[in-house]
Structure 1
């Protein structure tokens, strides 16, 4: 065992006792590399698992109760004899654990009580999808401890998405869970949501002379909930005009032929956001091709164009008013980089995080500059991790 595993085992035994077979679980965070608000419209994304993760150890305890202890949170217990969703457990770790137990039961497993100790170095509130990592960590633990057939990364990701939708109460897409389940850099096509098509690439930005940096604005996401919801809402209102549910079902030629009517009925912003979808969806494929070809210059150029589309057409960088933290962060990052690298909004947008591809010889000064403006520790560099979520016996 590694020193890290030994420390986890020691903590586990101090809390719950020893003498049992232990499983180690790993679930990484993720970064959206390409595809800003394309997944919910059945489009393409490129996402990468990161070198920050949830780590844990678990063992069966011979009861019907799950006991969970995680750094920074109050320990809790959960009875597995009732796996129905509970309103009181929405937006809670307990809700996610109950939801994953329900999902793993559907694979033919018999739920059994276990003890789980976890720690995480995923920055809180940073937009790196720690909730999906938690779902996958719990799911892989249950897969390992409860006898049954192996669960594929796609099936585990879909189970995690359903748990988050139904038990946690968040209507998320599948990108976060699937990219963390797969590991590495993955290109995912969501045209068929029941059967997303994915492929992985072994790629390290450092090999091409760049670091992936993320800067977090430290704002309260709840104030932008309505702004987030309006993005898919307006895109799908355009699709509905063609009798469709998502923009992937509407050929661009049909959209082009009805722009004037759409503007008159739905307003300009809905039309602009639909235009972003078509532009960004094409740019995702082109960026994936550039990564596969090892052409970092083409990738960076396309990333800059993606960032411009998000700011101008998708409009998820600023929502008006005097508070525009994401726009300020992008401008400051571009000021530090000048004509080098690339910057773009990351994830949902508005007050979340921005992404920058920074030349390796400028990483330290870039992080110091961004931290000076945003606060110590709000900007850091990440590496792509080729390992997706897994659990294995120690």
Structure 2
């Protein structure tokens, strides 16, 4: 197994590279993590429930204020020089590649009435990109936290998350829900975050797998299928259409006990077959979050495994956002003795999570890797998901 988290640039190293790049020392260094979502997928933009946990992998930012309106951005992970922008000229959908994520946060802060007069930012991240582990949210949240601290904005973690989501929605143009940013901003060490995305109420749920003799593996398939382009937005629109046909504001308002009747109503109304499937998945996954919460509260973590697998089946068959590689992870892991497994994140590639007995972790990981080799796929990355702290200042 590998662990990208071990490759973090230290605050001292990031401070040194900032100083070399910009000719002056930063005012501090901040970190914000990526995440995996234990259960509750495509529910956040339906005002539903999610249950992510932060990874030890983080985006880190060394930052210093400017007063001349200049925004200078550099990443140690991306080839190329410093991206130079003017804060008063930032505009949505203007491109900028990776730099759109931190630039979008500056734009969102200014749109919210906060006086951001410029900044120099040096970024470094160990969150794998394209793996469905919210590398973009980590960039957004770490930028927002640094600027809130430096400019004395006093924003709460939840307020930072909402601003970061606005940056991704309105500036970058990705219609994501708020889960990724809330996870990066609000998760705590040793816990999963039970988040109600309707009102952003949250509960930190103890999730000490090691104490139970368990491990949660992340399997990064290292693939991203082009089919995913635009598919997220199409599913969001389908969910909104389902809610409209049912006469409710969002699918969160449909109780699980009434799902069967609602699906019959949709079919009778001539709703598109895909809309019926999307509704079934979202309402079902809200219920699965509640199931997992109940099992964790009862100390029955192992019993959550089949719920994870059921979530994957729904994502594969109803939402249709899985792919051959993700399906193979779930199939091979469960066949090798895993307690349960499912894709996590937006799908069409990216990562899956696997709940295993600690004693079986290496065997299951090897079985998945052998299955990929037999199928002719590139070797996946496998590492443990250790519930970690949310965004914070390092120095």
TM-score surpassing 0.5?
yes
In 2 relative to 1, CA 308–262 (structure 1 residues): closer, same or farther, beyond 3 Å? same
Residue 151 of structure 1 and its aligned partner are, at CA, apart by 0.6
- 1:67 and 1:114 in contact (8 A); partners too: yes
Match of 1:240 among 244, 265, 278: 244
Once the two structures are superposed, residues 336-381 of structure 1 have per-residue CA deviations (whole angstroms, 9 ceiling, x without a partner) of 22xx421112122232322111221222233333334253452222
- Residue 380 (structure 2) pairs with residue 381 (structure 1): no
In 2 relative to 1, CA 109–359 (structure 1 residues): closer, same or farther, beyond 3 Å? same
How far apart are the structure 2 equivalents of 1:3 and 1:346?
27
Partner of 2:309: 304
In 2 relative to 1, CA 275–87 (structure 1 residues): closer, same or farther, beyond 3 Å? closer
In 2 relative to 1, CA 166–83 (structure 1 residues): closer, same or farther, beyond 3 Å? farther
> Matched residue pairs, number?
378
Match of 2:361 among 360, 363, 367: 363
Give the alignment of 1:71-220 within 5 angstroms: 71-73=76-78, 74-89=80-95, 92-105=97-110, 109-148=114-153, 150-184=154-188, 185-190=192-197, 192=198, 195-220=199-224
- 1:67 and 1:75 in contact (8 A); partners too: no
Once the two structures are superposed, residues 119-176 of structure 1 have per-residue CA deviations (whole angstroms, 9 ceiling, x without a partner) of 111112111010000001111111122133x111111000000001111111111000
Give the alignment of 1:9-48 within 5 angstroms: 9-18=15-24, 20=25, 22-48=27-53
Match of 2:235 among 231, 235, 252: 231
How far apart are the structure 2 equivalents of 1:70 and 1:380?
24
**TM-score of the two chains, using structure 1 as the length reference:** 0.87
- Residue 9 (structure 2) pairs with residue 6 (structure 1): no
Q: Tell me the SS of whatever aligns to 1:218.
A: strand
How far apart are the structure 1 equivalents of 2:265 and 2:205?
42
**TM-score of the two chains, using structure 2 as the length reference:** 0.87
Moved more, 203-212 or 104-113: 104-113
- 1:83 and 1:101 in contact (8 A); partners too: no
How far apart are the structure 2 equivalents of 1:169 and 1:255?
32
How far apart are the structure 1 equivalents of 2:262 and 2:51?
30
How far apart are the structure 2 equivalents of 1:280 and 1:86?
33
How far apart are the structure 2 equivalents of 1:267 and 1:47?
31
In 2 relative to 1, CA 170–335 (structure 1 residues): closer, same or farther, beyond 3 Å? same
Once the two structures are superposed, residues 262-289 of structure 1 have per-residue CA deviations (whole angstroms, 9 ceiling, x without a partner) of 2251244432332222222112012112
Once the two structures are superposed, residues 226-275 of structure 1 have per-residue CA deviations (whole angstroms, 9 ceiling, x without a partner) of 44334333332221112334212334566543544422512444323322
Give the gaps of 5 or more residues in structure 1. Answer: 319-323
Q: Tell me the SS of whatever aligns to 1:353.
A: strand
Once the two structures are superposed, residues 308-339 of structure 1 have per-residue CA deviations (whole angstroms, 9 ceiling, x without a partner) of 33334333325xxxxx33222322222222xx
In 2 relative to 1, CA 272–369 (structure 1 residues): closer, same or farther, beyond 3 Å? same
Partner of 1:321: none
Give the gaps of 5 or more residues in structure 2. Answer: 1-7
Moved more, 121-130 or 61-70: 61-70
